[in-house]
Amino acid sequence: MQVFLYLSVKNNDLNELNAINRLCEHLALNDKSLVLKASGVEFNHSYALYTYECGNYAELKERLKEAVCQKLFDFDALMVQSVPSLKTPGVLVMDMDMTSVQIEGIDEIARCLNVYDEVAAITGEAMHGRLDFASSLKKRVSLLKGGDALVLEKVKSIMRETDGYGILVNGLKENGWKVGIASGGFVQLINVLKDKYDLDLVRANSLEIKDGKFTGMVEGEIVDAVKKKAALSDLMKSSGVANEQSIAIGDGANDLLMINAASLGIAYHAKPKVQAEALTCLNYSDLSTVLLMLKCGDL
């Protein structure tokens, strides 16, 4: 069967021959079956896409996953059976905190309210998959009780989009794709990106606020891993998009169901547990390389 092997690295030259030789040696690839489809430099990334004829895809994926987890390479290597087409409508659903933006929203709210240490400790346990997400969220939000909701404006002011987020989102939307965020974070913060990029879906939690103060409660049902996966499915259905044209990106344990349900699921600079269980990982590139990968696939 034919598979695709995508190599990428940011702020560095990708020595394709060296990279491929290292991959071939570690994964026991037959280099004669590798065919270069596209390569170049764009968005401050060096990249290359190869096709490969193999009969042991599952075994190769496991070897590559082990190598990535052990950090044996200084570049990203993604092996997939197919690459979604940029020329055909599709959907992208991303996590918010530490994926779309480079903060953990609840941690920064807690920092403003002087309960950071208590909240961050619980956040870390949850994102590494050592605590049930819903329970951990309730515990963390309860620690915000009585805090002034105006701190949300301060947190918004320090939110920095993840490198390449705008390039990826704008590039997809220009080609008729639908883009959403499914997050265990809060709509009060996510709405900044929703308004800026005209996002097609936001599925997230909402902090209950009364008389300008946090009540320590979450409004409505908690968005957990199951609901994130459902958000991806819902956006595909509402957009009339087949699974082959779906992408999901996240960094935490509660993103795994969504990541592994998508045709192209990516653990982005993710926690060790997530890298070990996700289908593909990005550790040396930013989000713009996902758009490059799709462009290469259409050549």
Residuewise pLDDT in 10s, the chain (299 residues): 899 999 999 997 888 778 888 998 988 888 888 999 999 999 999 999 999 998 889 999 999 999 999 999 999 999 999 999 999 999 999 999 999 999 999 999 999 999 999 998 998 887 777 888 899 999 999 999 999 999 999 999 999 999 999 999 999 999 999 999 999 999 999 999 999 999 999 999 999 999 999 999 999 999 999 999 999 999 999 999 999 999 999 999 999 999 999 999 999 999 898 999 998 999 999 999 999 999 999 98
What is residue 162's DSSP assignment?
P
What are the residue numbers of the active site? 95, 97
Strands, E, within the chain: which ranges? 2-10, 34-42, 45-53, 76-80, 91-94, 178-186, 201-210, 213-219, 246-250, 264-268, 280-282
Report the C-alpha dihedral over residues 87, 90, 93, 99, rounded to 10 degrees.
-10
pLDDT at residue 100, rounded to an integer: 98
**Which residues are 267's β-sheet partners?**
250, 281
Burial class of residue 248 (count of CB atoms within 10 Å of its CB; 0-12, 13-18, 19+): buried
* Half-sphere exposure at residue 78, Cβ-oriented, CA atoms within 13 angstroms: 31
CA distance 240 to 178: 10
Burial class of residue 57 (count of CB atoms within 10 Å of its CB; 0-12, 13-18, 19+): middle
pLDDT at residue 299, rounded to an integer: 87
pLDDT at residue 132, rounded to an integer: 85
What letter represents residue 111's amino acid? R
Structural domains in the chain?
Answer: 1-81 (3.30.70), 84-299 (3.40.50.1000)
In this prediction the pTM is 0.96
Phi, psi (rounded to 5 degrees) for 219: -80, 135
pLDDT at residue 154, rounded to an integer: 97
pLDDT at residue 173, rounded to an integer: 98
